[in-house]
Amino acid sequence: AQSVTQLGSHVSVSEGALVLLRCNYSSSVPPYLFWYVQYPNQGLQLLLKYTSAATLVKGINGFEAEFKKSETSFHLTKPSAHMSDAAEYFCAAVGDGGATNKLIFGTGTLLAVQP
Closest distance between another protein and the C-beta of residue 78, in Å? 21
Closest CA to 37 of 102, 108, 95, 114: 108
Closest CB to another protein among residues 43, 115: 43
Closest CB to another protein among residues 14, 107: 107
Q: Residues 45-71, buried b or exposed e (16+ Cβ, 10 A)?
A: eebbbbeeeeeebebeeebbbebeeee
Closest distance between another protein and the C-beta of residue 61, in Å? 17
Member of 11, 106, 111, 113 binding another protein (CB under 8 A): 106
